[in-house]
C-alpha cells in the first residue's frame, strides 16, 4: 500500500499536468501544469522508493543491548534514554522510548508478544540498575488506537 498509493497519485498528477499543458499557452495553465508535473515526479519517486524497499525486503535493524539501543543507523546510549516502554496494539507490542524531547518507536518484525516484551523488560531491569534516570515499563501500555 505504501508503494501503490504514491504511484497512483503520480499517474493522476501526470494526467492533470499533461491536460493543463495541452490546453493552451496561458501563463497560469503553464504554471499549473508544471506544478502538477513536479508533484507527479515527487510522488513517483516516493512510490518507487517504497516499491524497491518491498522488493529488496529492506529492514531497519533494531538492537537492544547493555550499551544502548540501535534503531537503523542511530544509536542511543542508556544515559540518553529517559523512558522505555512497549505499546500494545491489536497485533502485538511495539517498542517505544524517549530520548530527551524525542519519542522513538522501534517496531520489530513481527511485533513482540506481551510475554516477549515482559521478558525483555525483565532483562533490561538488570541492565538499567546502573541508569536510575531511565524509567522502564514492565508491562506494555495500551495504545490509544486499539
The per-residue pLDDT for 75 is 93
Predicted pLDDT at 45: 93
CA 43 from chain centre, in angstroms, equals 18
Tell me: the pLDDT tens digits for 83-119? 999 999 999 999 999 988 899 998 888 889 999 999 9
Co-location of 136 and 89 in the same domain:
yes
Residues 11 and 74 both lie in one domain: no
66 and 45 belong to one structural domain: no
Which residues pair with residue 103 across a beta bridge? 98
Domain shared by 50 and 75, yes or no = no
Position 118 scores a pLDDT of 95
- Kindly state whether residues 85 and 125 are assigned to the same domain: yes
96 — phi, psi (to 5°)? -140, 140
- Which of 37, 55, 73 lies at the terminal end of a domain, its last residue? 55
Specify the residue for cell string 529492514.
59
Q: What is the largest CA-CA distance in the chain?
A: 71
Q: Are residues 51 and 77 in the same domain?
A: no
User: What is the rounded CA–CA span in Å between residue 66 and residue 123?
Assistant: 10
Burial of 97: CB neighbours in 10 Å, binned 0-12, 13-18, 19+: buried
Q: How many domains does the chain fold into?
A: 2
Q: Which of 69, 1, 10 is nearest to 38 (CA)?
A: 10
pTM attached to this predicted model? 0.64
Which pLDDT value is given to residue 146? 55
Q: Are residues 51 and 67 in the same domain?
A: no
Nearest CA to 131 out of 91, 60, 90, 83 is that of 83
> Based on the domain organization, do 95 and 132 belong to the same domain?
yes
C-beta atoms surrounding 10 within 10 Å: 20
Please report the pLDDT score of residue 26 as a whole number: 84
**Same domain as 94, residue 34:** no
Of 38, 55, 72, the position where a domain reaches its end is 55
Structural domain span for residue 86: 62-142
Q: Give residue 4's pLDDT.
A: 87
Low-confidence ranges of the chain (pLDDT < 70): 1, 24, 145-146
Let me know whether 98 and 133 are in one domain.
yes
Amino acid at each position: 500500500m505504501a508503494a501503490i498509493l504514491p504511484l497512483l497519485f503520480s499517474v493522476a498528477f501526470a494526467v492533470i499536468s499533461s491536460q493543463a499543458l495541452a490546453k493552451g499557452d496561458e501563463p497560469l495553465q503553464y504554471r499549473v501544469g508544471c506544478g502538477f508535473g513536479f508533484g507527479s515526479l515527487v510522488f513517483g519517486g516516493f512510490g518507487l522508493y517504497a516499491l524497491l524497499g518491498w522488493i529488496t525486503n529492506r529492514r531497519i535493524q533494531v538492537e537492544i543491548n547493555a550499551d544502548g539501543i540501535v534503531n537503523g543507523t542511530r544509536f542511543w546510549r542508556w544515559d540518553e534514554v529517559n523512558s522505555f516502554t512497549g505499546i500494545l496494539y491489536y497485533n502485538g507490542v511495539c517498542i517505544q522510548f524517549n530520548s530527551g524531547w524525542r519519542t522513538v518507536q522501534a517496531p520489530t518484525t513481527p511485533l513482540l508478544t506481551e510475554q516477549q516484551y515482559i521478558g525483555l523488560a525483565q532483562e533490561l531491569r538488570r541492565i538499567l540498575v546502573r541508569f536510575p534516570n531511565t524509567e522502564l515499563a514492565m508491562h506494555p501500555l495500551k495504545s490509544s488506537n486499539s
